[in-house]
Amino acid sequence: MSELVAPQLGQRMADPSSGTGGFILGYYQYVLTSLVRRSNPDLLIKDEDGFQRAAISVILTEKVKQVLADSMFGYDIDTTMVRLGLMNLMMHGIDNPQIDYKDTLSKSYNEDSKYDIIMANPPFTGNIDKGDINEGLKLPTTKTELLFVERIFNMLKMGGTAAVIVPSGVIQNSGKAFEALRKLIIDKAELKAVIAVPSGVFKPYAGVSTAILIFTKGGETNHVWFYEMLADGYTLDDKRNKIVESDLQDIVQRYKSRDSKKDTDRKLKFFMVAKKEIVENNYDLNLSTYKEEVYEEVVYENPNVIFRKLESIEADIKKGLAELKEFVV
């Protein structure tokens, strides 16, 4: 997700449900890698997913450290997660990480229009008491998976970009609040991409299918780029063992070169859909709504031919059994 939103040094980044701080760390590592790529690309190495990374100590001057320290913010309602996030970032060279214990959906949180980049994986299920919801959140719902996306939209500056993981219900449920949220990020932002993620990616913790939404606040949606991720480099069972097959590199490369005039073949796992068509489908963002399935015709042999083959096999079996009986004393 860091590769997709491509943050730059000095851009303010936040995660409103930061957990162990993984997205903050992703922002941090991506920015440092970008600096090394410009100054000394020979020092870059590839991580286990094939993305270039730089050793933190290579470019981490005091000035860069200070700019980064003033640019990364995390919030979580779980005190244990706040501690884990702080420890994780400190172990990766961030001396004074800014992760606060705070409910970003509550009335006590007011950080609207302050961030250039937001990356998040909000809780997939849950509800909040109606009386506790921040007045700035207008969706007619108490479901946290919807309110968090609206919170992220509100946190962005005009021109700011978000990448957020949502459960599949958010992109396709026909409920009033679900449709209102999709309408918000399509009509009030530029929804750039919907990346369908297979259900095993979050195992063994959760088996729900999800999607990554990428949108820029204040932009204009003309076309939405869809991608059907089939593999992320790991098995989709509870063990999550490393495998060769992975769409991650392909997603990043094709996202950066996406073209509404070229990405038109809906038989492929990536394609563009015009906003007009999405609106006509009640703002449905489910990839399968627009994908053109390819069915291969299977030609079977004539039943009489199949029966003759079975009879021949049966005769061979009887013959073999008869030969075996001759050896029985």
The tens digit of pLDDT for each residue in 274-314 reads: 999 999 999 999 999 999 987 777 788 888 888 889 999 99
The answer to the question of residue 311 being in a domain is: no
Both 96 and 112 in one domain: the answer is no
The tens digit of pLDDT for each residue in 67-76 reads: 998 999 999 9
- Distance (Å, rounded) from C-alpha 252 to C-alpha 244? 17
Of 8-17, 117-126, 188-197, 272-281, the least confident: 117-126
Residue 59 has pLDDT above 70, yes or no: no
- Distance (Å, rounded) from C-alpha 46 to C-alpha 228? 24
- Distance (Å, rounded) from C-alpha 236 to C-alpha 249? 18
CATH number of the domain within which 240 lies? 3.40.50.150
User: What amino acid occupies position 173?
Assistant: N
The answer to the question of residue 317 being in a domain is: no
178 CB-side CA count, 13 A = 15
Task: State the average pLDDT for the chain.
Answer: 92
Structural domain tally of the chain? 2
The answer to the question of residue 302 being in a domain is: no
Q: Which of 102, 127, 152 is the last residue of a domain?
A: 102
Q: How confident is the model at residue 192 (pLDDT cuts 50, 70, 90)?
A: very high
The tens digit of pLDDT for each residue in 238-271 reads: 999 999 999 999 999 999 999 999 999 999 999 9
- The confidence score (pLDDT) of residue 329 equals 59
Both 74 and 197 in one domain: the answer is no
Residue range(s) defining the domain that contains residue 211: 103-296
Return the axis-axis angle of helices 79-91 and 22-39, rounded to nearest 10°.
20
The answer to the question of residue 307 being in a domain is: no
* Tokens (6 digits) for 65: 């450290």
Average pLDDT over residues 94-110: 93
The answer to the question of residue 325 being in a domain is: no
Both 18 and 48 in one domain: the answer is yes
Both 129 and 81 in one domain: the answer is no
Both 150 and 31 in one domain: the answer is no
pTM of the model: 0.87
Query: Phi and psi of 319, rounded to 5°?
Result: -65, -45
The answer to the question of residue 303 being in a domain is: no
Q: Which of 61, 86, 102 is the last residue of a domain?
A: 102
Q: How confident is the model at residue 56 (pLDDT cuts 50, 70, 90)?
A: low
- Distance (Å, rounded) from C-alpha 148 to C-alpha 99? 17
Report the percent of the chain where pLDDT is more than 90.
69
Both 19 and 109 in one domain: the answer is no
